[in-house]
Amino acid sequence: MTRPAGSRPFRFGALTTGGTDASRGRWPDHARKIEASGFDTLLVADHFLNETVCTPRLAAAAIATTALRLGSYVYDNDFRHPVLLAREAAEIDVLSGGRMELGIGAGWAKSEYDAVGITFDDGPTRVSRYEEAVGIIRALHCGETVTHHGRFYDLDACDLLIQPVQDPIPLLLGGGGPRMTRFAGARADIVGFVPRSLPDGGLDPTEFSVAAFDEKITLLEAAVGDRPDGGPERSVLIFEHARTADALPRGEDAWTDPEWYRDSPYALIGEPAEMIELLLERRERWGLSYIVCWEEDADALAPVVAALAGR
């Protein structure tokens, strides 16, 4: 039986969004450095306005590394057809010898939709399309021939035609708003907690508070119910880290009110020893064991990774 959420071993992921000069220019070296630094997963974001592209970066990292797991964090469901996404994930799983983690979300950055002429539908519509796509992808990864006539997608006797190494590829599903969190509790292998999106795009700054996160965990646990595996592994993205609260960004550069960062699960404040204690406390309280940081913060958090990875 899977271990309870509060006792799962720590894993750490390093997330590339736009990338640094070093990682963009020498990506294989960067992937090997992340692997050697003790991180468990190399993750790449999926955005039209980033300077890096998710799928080719993951495929290149698959060839450059031997043990590092690889993940999308997260593919925007509206940017590609679920059959194409299922095939791309399966191919990366084959190239890596079974190290792919497929992260999918419903989309939240309206500016990107506007930039490329994709309609930014209301939240319930985007989430409904995402839920339908996740079902198709999981069925294909489980080897099913899929005939599906839904609200958004029509498939007739569709086969994946690629045999993934993992059976099936783990799904990381976003846990933003209440509906997304409930769906992840019922269907995900990993839930990736982030603040929910606003109706007009962007992230809700009030979601960085402890009270909001407590509500999210309550929703998740109700949705998990009596799943025999104990429910999804719980991941959280560290938006900000600093040695002192005074060093946190403020004003237009801040994701939220700096006062909320002090106890927020999306921030780490203190010396490495203090950060270690915070993560131990958060695992006990919220079951958070899979910690994701920006690529730019990987060196600074390396002592934390060395102390806690696998513990």
State the pLDDT at residue 164: 98
Q: Looking only at Cα atoms, what is the longest distance across the chain?
A: 58
The closest alpha carbon to 235, from 11, 1, 3, 7, belongs to 11
The closest alpha carbon to 110, from 100, 121, 124, 95, belongs to 121
* CA–CA distances in Å: residue 236 to residues 48, 90, 279, 281: 23, 25, 11, 14
Domain containing residue 259: CATH number:
3.20.20.30
pLDDT digits (tens, 9 = 90+) for 115-125: 999 999 999 99
State the pLDDT at residue 2: 54
Strands 146-149 and 154-158: antiparallel
Supply 239's token pair: 């938006």
pLDDT digits (tens, 9 = 90+) for 193-245: 998 888 887 788 889 899 999 999 999 999 999 999 999 999 999 999 888 87
Cβ-contact 98, 165 below 8 angstroms: yes
Supply 226's token pair: 């009596």
Supply 298's token pair: 């990987």
State the pLDDT at residue 303: 96
Can you say how many angstroms the Cα of residue 15 is from the centroid of all Cα atoms in its chain? 9
Beta carbons within 8 Å of 217's beta carbon, 6+ residues apart: 286, 287
The DSSP secondary-structure symbol of 169 reads P
State the pLDDT at residue 4: 62
- For the chain, the straight-line distance linking the first and the last C-alpha, in angstroms and rounded, comes to 18
**Beta-bridge partner residues of 43:** 15, 71
In the chain, the amino acid numbered 81 is: H
Opening angle at CA 22, ends 16 and 25, nearest 5? 95
- Per DSSP, which regions of 38-162 are E strands? 41-44, 69-72, 75-76, 100-105, 146-149, 154-158
Mean pLDDT, each 10-residue run in order, the chain (311 residues): 72 94 93 97 95 96 98 97 98 98 94 95 96 98 98 98 97 92 97 89 86 96 94 96 79 75 90 96 97 96 96 95
pTM for this prediction: 0.94
Specify the 3-state DSSP secondary structure of 232: coil
Supply 171's token pair: 């799904």
- How far is residue 262's CA from residue 309's CA, in Å, rounded to a whole number? 24
Residue 241 domain boundaries = 5-308
State the pLDDT at residue 3: 58
State the pLDDT at residue 1: 41
Number of structural domains (the chain) is: 1
What's the number of CA atoms in the CB half-sphere (13 Å) around residue 182? 6
- How far is residue 92's CA from residue 81's CA, in Å, rounded to a whole number? 17
Strands 190-193 and 233-238: parallel
